[in-house]
Structure formats: C-alpha cells, structure tokens
Structure 1
C-alpha cells in the first residue's frame, strides 16, 4: 500500500470537510453542527462503531482491525475561538465573531481522513483504532479532555496520538520533542480593596490602583529572583479593572493573569509566591486582597518511546528532512490529560508554505495551507498501521 498516494486521493474530500467546518465554527460547549458533520462522515464509512454526545458534543468512534493487537487512539479537538475572522478566504466564517483561528477544523479533518484511510485498510489492520473528537479544548482551565476521559475515551487504549497545526513550521515538517512540549496553564484573579476618597485628598483614602501597580511590578520578581533561571516560568497579568472616575481614589481593583510552567515544583512556587507578594503589598498599602488561583491544563509531556516511534514513522513516510526537533512553547493544550493517563505524543505539523506570510495561532488572519490535511491524515494512518507490527 502507498499511504501518501491514498491520502492525496482523498485530498479534495478533506478540503470540502475542512471548509465546511471553517465556515461554521462553534465555540466551546456549542459544537452541535460540528459533531453532526463528523457523525455524517463517519457513517459514510460504515465500519466504525460510533458513540455520540460524550461530555457534551464529543464523539468516540472505534474500528476493529482484522487481526488482534493493541488499541491506538487518535484525538482531535473541535471548538473554535471568539475571534472575528479577517481572512479573504472564500469559505471564511459565516458565524460572526467566531473563527477556527487555532486550526481545530484541520485537526478534525485530519483524524477523519485517517478514519477514511484506515477504513479502506481494515483488512491489513492489526489491533484497533479509536477516533476521539473532543469538545471544549479552548475552555481553560477545565477544558474537554478531562470529561472525555471520565466518560471512557481512554478505556482499553494502549497509546494516544495527537497533532496540532503549527504556523511557525514550514509545510511538510513535523515537530517533535521528548518530554515537556507545551506548558501547564493556570489562571488567577486578584481582588485588591482599599478605600475611596477625593483625588485631591488621597491621604483620606487607600488607593487600590497604586497597590495593584505595585503588585504587578512585584510579581515579576517571582520570575527573576525566586525561580530557578534554568526552569521556565511566565507570569502575565493581562487584565486590570479599577476605579470609577478620574478624580476619585480607587477603592477596588481586579487583576487577571496566567502562570505558565513546565515543572510541578515551579508551578507550586508561583502559586505560593503570588499569595505572599499579595499579602506583602496589602500590609504595605493598608489594602486587603484575595487571590483565586485556578490550576488549568497540565504540561504536555511526550513519552520517550512513543515519541521515538513517531519520529521513525515521520522519517519513513516523508523522509529524514521532514522531522524537526523543536523547542518547547509556553502555550498550553489539554491533550496533556490524555498523556497523564496513557503513553503517547503530541506533534506539531507545519502549515506555512514557502513564501506565505506567517500568522500565529489565535490570529484573525491565520489560514493554514490545506496541503497539511493529506499529510496529517497519512501520518496518523501510518502510526496506526505500524504500531502492532
């Protein structure tokens, strides 16, 4: 069999599926039309056992091979983002304010493509394959992965694979790394309360904005002076709301931010020090403060043996030059929860052809090259067919 040729033969079908998904994106927990499309395509194949409405609109589809062997899971996330699309694509989003800016339409299509090919090769398949279509990946800190796992998505599974489209990699390249690939992602909210007064008489009040500014500045010393410089830590405060009028000393201020880490120890340090810094600022200013720290996604930690297996398959399918050893990113993915339960790997697959402008994920102009579709489908198929040999 020639996996690449077979994948190229279904490219037009893959494009049609992806474009329909792209035109009708749905945000987390609202993926009804998306799930209906997936079920429609799976039923066309005729040999998948389909379970619907898993953890909301999630889907599990199982294909039994002709020969005994282990069960491999392929996972795709389904949801889109609350972003107004600004591409010039003829199939741009028709849902105002919603866009597949993270490429999940491609993920769904590639796993469906693998399903099409594996359905064709069922008589050559050793073991079984499970397709997992997961809602709400973007819904940090909870996400959809934990719910899928709780409802049995990984029962009987021996290994799990995922791919994420990656604009920083050229089309045709696959990025892999053993160990931490993407960061743990936590969300925190801080409320600082002071005492309002006239702006001309600040001595009669307690300024929550000044205390908040001191807190923002002091948190960066957690990174620069408390954390091991050889272990990654990012603390970003992206939202501040405070005050009611320009000539009133603010009585309250709310801040929201995120911590990104790879190490559990650094994660614990960040949470502890945020509370200690807040306590210190409140003592200094006379304010009161409250920290609400929510642990979100775990770090994506790729299994060494499974990563080596995938690396070998990338090279055998696409050639030695297709494999790229990548550095980790501080972005997050709830695929980490699957990897916490089963050995597996998340790979990055390049989407930018030579000469094309690079737009990042979560950008309103992101438009991955569609030739990633047959490539991802082929690689998923290769991984499944070779796993039990």
Structure 2
C-alpha cells in the first residue's frame, strides 16, 4: 500500500478517537483515583492488563522491570516494528485539586500526568486493533514503571527486559501544560535535560554558640558552598550552554545556640552537553574541597549521573511533525524553539533506538488557572486524551522507515 493511500485512514482515526474519549476519560479517572508510586504500580498494572485483554489481539508480557508490561500487536503486512511508551507511576504529593475523582491514596498523586499517558496509549491500542489490517509490521506498547525514580528510573530495566528487542523506532509523549490544548510540540535534537543527583555531608565540630572559635561551623561551610556553587554556572560554563545547579535540601543544627557540627545538602544538576555535565561535577568537587579546607571541615559527596539528555533523532522528530500536521493541521504542529530543563528517562530508549518524544498540549483555552506539573493542584485537560491516542496510533500506522 502506498503512503498516500494509507493516509486515507486518518480521518477515521480522528473520528474513532473522538468517539472513544468518554471511555478514555473513565480510564484516566480510574488511574487518577488509585495512584501508586515508583515500583509499587501493582494495581495500575492490573488495570492495564484487564483493558488490554478486553481489546484482544495483543501478545502480552507482564512483570517486566518490576510491574512493567509489553504488549505486541502484529499487522497483516510486513514492515517495521514500532514501540510506543507510556509511564505508570505517580508522585509522593498530597492532592489538593478538589476533583471528585481525586486520589484516594493519602500523599500520592498523579501530578505529572502519567495517568493521561497510560490512557492515551490504551486509546492507541484500541485504535490500532481496529486497524490491524492496515498495520505494516508490528507495534509494541511499553507500559513502564518508575519513571519518577530519578536518578535510576525504570527505563533501563525495561530495556534489560527486552522492551527494545527487534524494535526499529520508539516514540513517546508527555502532557504539557505550557502548550495550549490541541497543539503538540517537539524538536530535533535536545528536548529535555540530563538529570544528575548529588548529596553532600559536611562535618565540623560543634561548640557553644557564644564561643564559636572553639568549634568548626559546618553550616557556615555549607552556606558558602551553596553560594559558591552557582559560580559554576556563571563563571565556568559557556554562556551559550545550559546548566542549572539547584540545592533543594539543607539540614543543619539542633538548637539556636549551638554551632552545627554537621550540614547535609542535596540537589540536582541539569545540563544538555556531556562536556558541561562532566565539568560541573569536577568543579563542584573542587569548590567543596577548597571551602572545607578553608573552614577546617571535612566533606563527603555522592554524585550520581542520572537520566541523560533526551535527544530526538532529527528524522524521527520531523516524522512526528509531519504526522501532527496531517492529523490536526499545521497550526497545531509546534516545532519548539527551545528545550526544557526537566528530565525524562525516555532518553535511555533514544540512546538505543532511533525515535522521538513530544509534548501534548493540555493548557485550557479559557482563563482557568494553569497549574504546572508536579503541583498538588495540577489538573490535566481530558480533551487531550483522544488527541494523544490518535497521534500515537498514527505514528505506528504510517511509519515507513
């Protein structure tokens, strides 16, 4: 079948996706009511398996990389093997949306939209099964646990479990409240940053707050490091390169009149360039050693390389733009000018197989407040569900090379 002939099915995909949106909303809300954190997605996996079995036709493997699921659908024609991925886990956040289907699990919430990702992929499964006769080659659905468990993540275990065996290309998406509903954005090359994690323990000697000369203040050393570490961004990094150093945890002291004998710091480094990533760690260690020497303290640092930068294959990113254009019109295909400093372990898949990742717009068109991802108030726009399902299905149905 010629490529132009195959595109005749796209209007059906749009209509069919719209038609199943009420079902998709019910599915998404069921996930949202019962969120589970990384590596504990047992009930979530059960829901996915039940829906896949109801759809039928998929060869299913479960228990991959923990609670991960692989589901293969073979077309009636020879062709390429495409993988589509959705993440499953929720965050340790107490929901404050007030929605009638709010999380029933205290302190856990789908605040990053993974409930929507799973729903879009299950919607794509329904559409692909309906068009199995038009499918060239095969499609593999990857339901991945533990995406939020940085810096380790769940993608590597899924890859070790065979998620990419025999796969020619891999695609994924993420809901994106910074884009208006109806628009889908991507770009060739860097789309999201590398994400590293560090923790530091500075050890000094405690003393009476009225006689600080008798101790070695670990908190002052920590405070100097917090300030000095930003010079890595301002003075050791090319101004045209991106680098973020954030310290999100600082713990020291037990009482107002005691010089702290220890200080604990924890944070993250975000970069795109491998060279900047390496240099940031080196300079961080040098600064810490120098400050502690000057303050007569000692320090231990643990620095973990987490998710790599997410880099879209240029050809695959252009294919995504082409599919968005054909499905929803050129006005809704957004070629992003800049990447984001957030991270995604989908990057591990892209290190193994050509592919691309996209942002699915969820921003309301009215004046309602738009909360960011990872907020306890985050509300996903459910009108994006059918769009995500149609988009993922079309990526599999129309892929040629």
Give the TM-score normalised by structure 1: 0.99
Write out aligned runs for 1:101-140 (5 A).
101-140=111-150
Spell out, residue by residue over 1:333-360, the C-alpha distance to the aligned partner (whole angstroms, 9 max, x if none).
Answer: 0000000000011100101121132100
SS of residue in 1 equivalent to 2:378: coil
1:67 aligns with one of 77, 80, 98: 77
Spell out, residue by residue over 1:242-277, the C-alpha distance to the aligned partner (whole angstroms, 9 max, x if none).
Answer: 112111111110100100000000000010001000
2:348 aligns with one of 324, 337, 361: 337
Alpha-carbon distance, 1:325 to partner: 1.9
Structure 2 equivalent of residue 180 of structure 1: 190
Structure 1 equivalent of residue 377 of structure 2: 365
Structure 2 equivalent of residue 283 of structure 1: 293
* Distance (Å, rounded) in 1 between the aligned partners of 2:268 and 2:78: 46
SS of residue in 2 equivalent to 1:206: coil
**Structure 2 unaligned spans of 5+:** 1-8
The answer as to 2:254 corresponding to 1:241 is no
Alpha-carbon distance, 1:14 to partner: 0.6
Alpha-carbon distance, 1:88 to partner: 2.2
Structure 2 equivalent of residue 94 of structure 1: 104
1:352 aligns with one of 360, 363, 367: 363
- What is the RMSD of the two structures over their aligned residues, measured on CA atoms? 0.8
1:156 aligns with one of 161, 166, 180: 166
1:78 aligns with one of 72, 88, 92: 88
Alpha-carbon distance, 1:108 to partner: 0.2
Residues 321 and 335, structure 2, Cα contact 8 Å, conserved in 1: no
* Distance (Å, rounded) in 2 between the aligned partners of 1:291 and 1:303: 35
Structure 1 equivalent of residue 176 of structure 2: 166
The answer as to 2:38 corresponding to 1:19 is no
* Distance (Å, rounded) in 1 between the aligned partners of 2:72 and 2:218: 56
**Structure 1 unaligned spans of 5+:** none
SS of residue in 1 equivalent to 2:121: helix
SS of residue in 2 equivalent to 1:293: strand
Residues 50 and 60, structure 1, Cα contact 8 Å, conserved in 2: yes
Spell out, residue by residue over 1:292-311, the C-alpha distance to the aligned partner (whole angstroms, 9 max, x if none).
Answer: 10111011100000001110
* Distance (Å, rounded) in 2 between the aligned partners of 1:368 and 1:208: 44
Residues 127 and 388, structure 1, Cα contact 8 Å, conserved in 2: no
Structure 1 equivalent of residue 6 of structure 2: none
Alpha-carbon distance, 1:361 to partner: 0.1
The answer as to 2:59 corresponding to 1:52 is no
SS of residue in 2 equivalent to 1:161: strand
* Distance (Å, rounded) in 1 between the aligned partners of 2:281 and 2:342: 18
Spell out, residue by residue over 1:281-339, the C-alpha distance to the aligned partner (whole angstroms, 9 max, x if none).
Answer: 01111101111101110111000000011101100110010011222110110000000
* Distance (Å, rounded) in 2 between the aligned partners of 1:282 and 1:55: 41
SS of residue in 1 equivalent to 2:398: helix
Give the TM-score normalised by structure 2: 0.96
Give 4+ residue runs of structure 1 displaced > 2 Å after superposition.
none
Structure 2 equivalent of residue 211 of structure 1: 221
Structure 1 equivalent of residue 211 of structure 2: 201
Spell out, residue by residue over 1:203-257, the C-alpha distance to the aligned partner (whole angstroms, 9 max, x if none).
Answer: 1110101111111111010100001110000001111011121111111101001
Residues 364 and 370, structure 2, Cα contact 8 Å, conserved in 1: no
SS of residue in 2 equivalent to 1:228: coil
